[in-house]
Structure 1
Amino acid sequence: MFRILTSTLRIQHNNFQQSNLRRFSKYLVDNSNYAFLQRLGIEASNPGVFNGTWGGRGEKVTSYSPTSNEPIAQVTFGSVQDFSETVEKSKEAWKQWCLIPGPKRGEVVRQVGEALRENLTDLGKLLSLEVGKILLEGIGEIQEYIDMCDFAVGLSRMLGGSVMPSERPGHMLIENWNPLGIVGIITAFNFPAAVFGWNHTLSLVCGNCTILKGAPTAPLVSIAITRIIQSVLEANGYPASICSLVSGGADIGQEMVKDRRIDLVSFTGSTEVGRQVGTTVQARFGRHVLELGGNNALIVNEDADLEMALRSMLFACVGTAGQRCTTTRRVMLHESIHDEMVERLVKAYQQVPIGDPLEDGVLYGPLHSDRAVGEYESAVQQAVEQGGMVSYGGKRINRPGNFVEPTLITGIAHDAPIVCKETFVPITYVSKFSSLDEAISWNNEVDQGLTSSLFTKDVGKLFKWLGPHGSDCGIVNVNIPTSGAEIGGAFGGNKATGWGREAGSDSWKQYMRRSTCTINYSDELPLAQGIKFE
């Protein structure tokens, strides 16, 4: 299990001591450009486990910046023993936390949001440095976590079930919700803060304790956020182990998934690994939330606002260097506008500023790992072999770091094997359709079902797209990109995307235990359905 997770780790054992690491890492010297590392408590060597105290008995690893492939800092991962001890401490903390009234739990989350606001820019810079996102997206991801705090604070005064009429006189039915227990959260590298925020904030106001296993290639973001949460919990007199962290690789993920003490596992990652996670959790009758792969399509109909569609495609295809779950990977253009839109899209791609994601004006940074660069090069080769033509890009950029050109592939069949496969890189496959029904069928033919978008001015086509014969995705957009979901709606997808839902709407219910309660307040004992048993 989790062999894929293991293969994605850029973990290298270190032959240098902590005293040498500061000199080894240019980011940890006294440089005003990277002073945010010190302000966030990031040191040359950092413990990667927190369960009320900081520690870690696993391997020592180095976090690298994908912009330069140079080391940032060292982290000591947790061991299996660390994980087991953390679960026990979480269970002890839960005994207290679950009894705290919901609005008081919400007050703690409010303070977490305020603490994140105070560190918004610094956290955004750390995320950009470690993940490779441009600074505006790094700050935006932390803002998303803050927004989730605000959402959860309001929810903390609205948690409640239904009161239902009983068919029996002198009786009433109520739907009661109680905290679930311990929630394990496994995040992916591309959204190490926001995915944790979606789960953590709702879980906390629902009365649960959380254990985070952050992305192993972005451990510093997890550590910095955990330190902020720790300070808030301790300032309020609560056990800091209410929100714990166990940094690690596949071994820690496997322990979390199979541990019966973990009541819910939220996993964000590939469909292949998610299938293993779901099977293992279900085998022990646990609960899981799966946010897996996406192979998202954006359809431009002949009557669309082409300028709006062009701007949307550029962000959805190129943003985050193609490393969003919601990235547009398939563009479908009506045959009457296909050639014009491809030409305009190529010109737009040529104008995208590429460079260090921390620099002003840059809109496109590096891929997160060298392994992703290899996947990019392989996908381009396969696309050409399967009949596609590189209309723009297709090559690694000759500069330090994991930079590749944003790429457009045209002339390839809509059902070519490489098109039907999600590759987590900035490659977009463009196809030509003759009718909306044809485009919808192409949208639905892939295994995944995360997000989709249609550009049209025709109200009839709009509602067909939203209806039972329309998109089969969990997110169905009209005249906006496939990416950029708001927290107010439940986020997640269907089919091989895992059917998970996080963030807004009624997603809070999966973090709680529901009971249907019948209360007899009469002196009689009638049975339901008119049964007589006398």
Structure 2
Amino acid sequence: MTIAVLDLATETAKLLAELGVDASRYHGGTLSVTSPVTGKEIGKLREHSVSETKAAIEAAHRAFLEWRAVPAPKRGELVRLLGEELRASKAALGRLVSIEVGKITSEGLGEVQEMIDICDFAVGLSRQLYGLTIATERSEHRMMESWHPLGVIGIISAFNFPVAVWSWNAALAMVCGNSTVWKPSEKTPLTALAVQALFEKALKRFVAEGGTAPANLSTLIIGGREVGEVLVDHPKIPLVSATGSTAMGRAVGPRLSQRFARAILELGGNNAAIVCPSADLDLTLRGVAFSAMGTAGQRCTTLRRLFVHESVYDQLVPRLQKAYGSVTIGNPLETGTLVGPLIDGQAFKNMQAALGEAKSAGGTVTGGDRVETGSTEAFYVRPALVEMPDQTGPVEHETFAPILYVMKYSDFDEVLALHNAVPQGLSSSIFTNDMREAETFVSARGSDCGIANVNLGPSGAEIGGAFGGEKETGGGRESGSDAWKAYMRRSTNTINYGRTLPLAQGVKFDVE
């Protein structure tokens, strides 16, 4: 396979200009950005210093003090306008995602659609920030809970979903009355520049149409670990939402807890699926293939472990091997490609190391080899299917690459225990037409993950559900359902509208 000579730097510049980014933002800096499609440089950004980051947080705090006073439905109007800008620029931004991350075209566009969807969700939410009225034991009293804006929200995002994760946090944070400071991955800052430009365009429209909004409501910080640490340690950031590795979470979590700040941690996932005797194997094949190979295995929800019942193992696994051998690997910008490149050479090294461990543990590997493209700087691989004798070695760890470990099982209770016997707990699925197996899997004694699906794979999620996982995945929740509560502070209010002062629990304290 040969990747045609592509001038992605020129195309990237055109896309950024179309999206409203000034050329000075991605020329002349020290942070080199390469496209995994070719391995070539497509931009060079200036990084922010620690002092600039601290100043940006102070400015964001001043913006919060103003924004919190704007009624929530008015705040929702700004997010509605952001959704409109994203709709108008979906093709350009989706293309930029594909260039910078290496996603196939439909996945790049799909990521922008997630942003549009969460904006729609947040607009409706802006009129539904409900508090409860609570029964009180005292007559002529009313007790209720109120929800108030929290402050500056720090967002640290990863390369694999460079813009969607920002929107999950920012859209909710803004309708909840907060400002945001965003540090994207150093591997994917160009898409962040584009999103910031679209937000600023929406903000100008909002003000022009009579809305009230401060400057610095959304701030973008470009840099590495040093500026990320400023976000984590700054006393005026009460919540940090961080997406990345478990190792990153182990560093971030204790530092936030030390100053009693909140954390939304979206960390590693070692996601599994169980294929039962009654499974629809045609449906299972499609579900497994996308979940294991989509985004070249670089999703936190990627399927990495597959347990197949012994009665259907010999029917399903050869079909999977055939699919792995025939899947179209290549330039993600071309129609028909299903698997694009790994993000960089380190990802390729990690994949080969894991496959070496698997072979040493008795695994049989199909695929996993590098697909030559004529470039030494781009890393395309054939997805690997590894038949393992049991769950051991690399099977117990997440490798951010397209490796699917396949194991045979015979007993349902035993496979449930194996499914849960890894440190991570993000996403999971079961393929079955047996009601008891399906209901057990989503019950308290079933999957211990934050996401548990029946008859679809673990990869991907709709914005309506709260996204996140348990154990070493971090325990945080983003996106839909009641995840908005993480971005607000709760206040319990009791109002005495009578002329006496009864105390709770019948306490008597009479004074003259």
Structure 1: 4+ residue segments shifted above 3 A: 41-45
Displacement, 1:43? 6.0
User: Which stretch has the larger CA shift, 34-43 or 324-333?
Assistant: 34-43
Q: Does 1:405 align with 2:405?
A: no
Unaligned runs of 5+ in 1: 1-24, 49-55
Residues in 1 aligned to 2:83 and 2:7: alpha-carbon distance in whole angstroms: 31
User: Secondary structure of 2:307's match?
Assistant: strand
Verify the 8 A CA contact 1:233 1:240 in the aligned structure 2. no
Pick one of 5, 8, 11 that aligns with 1:27: 8
Asked whether the equivalents of residues 43 and 73 of structure 1 are also in contact (C-alpha less than 8 Å), the reply is: no
Residues 471-482 of structure 1 mapped to structure 2, 5 A cutoff? 471-482=447-458
Question: Residues of 2 paired with 1:280 and 1:411: CA distance?
Answer: 39
Given that residues 28 and 44 in structure 1 are in contact (C-alpha distance below 8 angstroms), is that contact kept between their aligned partners in structure 2? no
1:279 aligns with 2:260: no
Shift of 1:47: 5.8
Distance (Å, rounded) in 1 between the aligned partners of 2:116 and 2:369: 37
Query: Is it true that 1:126 corresponds to 2:96 in the alignment?
Result: yes
User: Which whole-Å CA distance do the structure 1 matches of 2:245 and 2:141 have between them?
Assistant: 48
Q: Aligned-residue CA RMSD in angstroms?
A: 1.6
Worse overlay, 172-181 or 404-413 = 404-413
Q: Provide, for residues 75-111 of structure 1, a one-character-per-residue CA deviation record: whole Å limited to 9, x for no partner.
A: 1111101101101111111121110000000000000
Q: Is the 8 A contact 1:44 1:73 kept in 2?
A: no
Contact 1:294 1:448 in 2 (8 A): yes
What's the offset of the Cα at 1:223?
Answer: 0.4
Contact kept, 8 Å, 2:140 with 2:497, in 1: the verdict is: yes
Give, as a single letter, the amino acid of the residue that structure 2 aligns with 1:281: L
Aligned counterpart, 2:399: 423
CA displacement at 1:41 relative to structure 2: 3.8
In the TM superposition, residue 375 of structure 1 has moved relative to its aligned partner by 0.4
Per the alignment, in what secondary structure is the counterpart of residue 338 of structure 2? coil
Matched, 1:354 2:333: no
* Structure 2 counterpart of 1:254, from 229, 235, 239: 229
Q: Which residue does 1:304 correspond to in 2? A: 279
In structure 2, C-alpha distance between the alignment counterparts of 1:136 and 1:486, rounded to whole Å: 16
Structure 1 equivalent of residue 151 of structure 2: 181
1:160 to 120, 124, 130: 130
Alpha-carbon distance between aligned partners in 1 of 2:372 and 2:147, rounded to the nearest angstrom? 56
TM alignment of 1:218-297, pairs within 5 A? 218-237=188-207, 238-297=213-272
Q: Secondary structure at the match of 2:396?
A: coil
Corresponding letter in the other structure for 1:205? V
For 1:494, the equivalent position in structure 2 comes to: 470
**TM-score between both structures, scaled by the size of structure 1:** 0.91
Name the amino acid aligned to 1:96: E
Pick one of 8, 16, 36 that aligns with 2:15. Answer: 36
Pick the aligned partner of 1:385 from 351, 357, 360. Answer: 360
Aligned partners of 1:266 and 1:289 also within 8 Å = yes
Confirm or deny: 8 A CA contact 1:230 1:240 kept in the other structure.
no
Partner of 1:3: none
How many angstroms apart in 1 are the aligned matches of 2:465 and 2:225? 31
Residue 394 (structure 1) aligned to one of 368, 373, 376: 368
2:505 maps to a residue whose letter is Q
Find the aligned partners of 1:27 and 1:296 in 2 and give their Cα distance: 34
Cα distance in 1 for partners of 2:418, 2:41 equals: 43
Aligned residue for 2:74, secondary structure, equals helix
Please tell me the residue identity of whatever aligns with 1:85: A
The answer on whether the counterparts of 2:100 and 2:188 sit within 8 Å (CA) in structure 1 is yes
What displacement does 1:397 show? 1.4
Name the SS of the counterpart of 2:381 in structure 1.
Answer: coil
2:82 pairs with 1:112: yes
Helix, strand or coil at the partner of 2:458: coil
Aligned mates of 1:350, 1:28 — CA distance in 2: 32
Match of 1:451 in 2: 427
CA shift, 1:438, in A, is 1.4
Partners of 1:154 and 1:206 in 2: how far apart?
A: 12
Deviation at 1:358, TM superposition (A): 0.9
Does the residue aligned with 1:113 lie in a helix, a strand or coil? helix
SS in 2 for 1:224: helix
1:323 has 2:298 as partner:
yes
**For residue 418 of structure 1, what is the amino acid of its counterpart?**
P
SS in 1 for 2:25: strand
1:206 and 2:176 correspond: yes
Cα distance in structure 1, aligned partners of 2:388 and 2:205:
60
**Does the 8 A contact of 1:233 with 1:239 survive in 2?**
no
The normalised TM-score by structure 2 is 0.95
- Cα distance in 2, alignment partners of residues 346 and 47 from structure 1: 43
> Is 2:488 aligned against 1:509?
no
Secondary structure, counterpart of 1:241 in structure 2: coil
How far apart are the structure 2 equivalents of 1:495 and 1:242?
Answer: 33
* 1:454-493 residue CA offsets vs partner (Å, 9 max, x unmatched): 0111111111111121110010100011112111110100
Identity of aligned residues (%): 48
Pair 1:60-2:25 in alignment? no
Q: Is the 8 A contact 1:453 1:478 kept in 2?
A: yes
The answer to whether the 8 Å contact 1:42/1:220 transfers is: no
**Which aligned pairs between 1:71-90 and structure 2 lie closer than 5 A?**
71-90=41-60
Distance in 2 between residues matched to 1:224 and 1:145, nearest whole Å: 13
2:325/2:367 contact within 8 Å kept: no
Q: How many positions carry a matched residue from both structures?
A: 498
Match of 2:3 in 1: none
Alpha-carbon distance in 2 for matches of 1:412, 1:359: 38
CA distance in 1, matches of 2:281, 2:309: 11
Q: Is contact 1:309-1:479 (8 Å) kept? A: yes
The match for 2:68 among 98, 112, 126 is 98
Corresponding position of 1:21: none
**1:39/1:87 CA distance change after superposition, 3 Å:** same
Match status 1:368 vs 2:343 = yes
1:28 deviates by: 3.9
Alignment of 1:521-532 (within 5 A): 521-532=497-508
Contact 2:36/2:101, CA 8 A, preserved across alignment: yes
Q: Offset at 1:413?
A: 1.6
State how far apart, in whole Å, the 2-side matches of 1:40 and 1:207 are.
26
Distance in 2 of aligned mates of 1:320 and 1:519: 54
What is the match of residue 7 of structure 1?
none
Aligned to 2:210: none
1:149-202 alpha-carbon deviations (Å, 9 max, x no partner): 000000001112011121001111010111000000000000011111110000
Residue 40 of structure 2 corresponds to residue 70 of structure 1:
yes
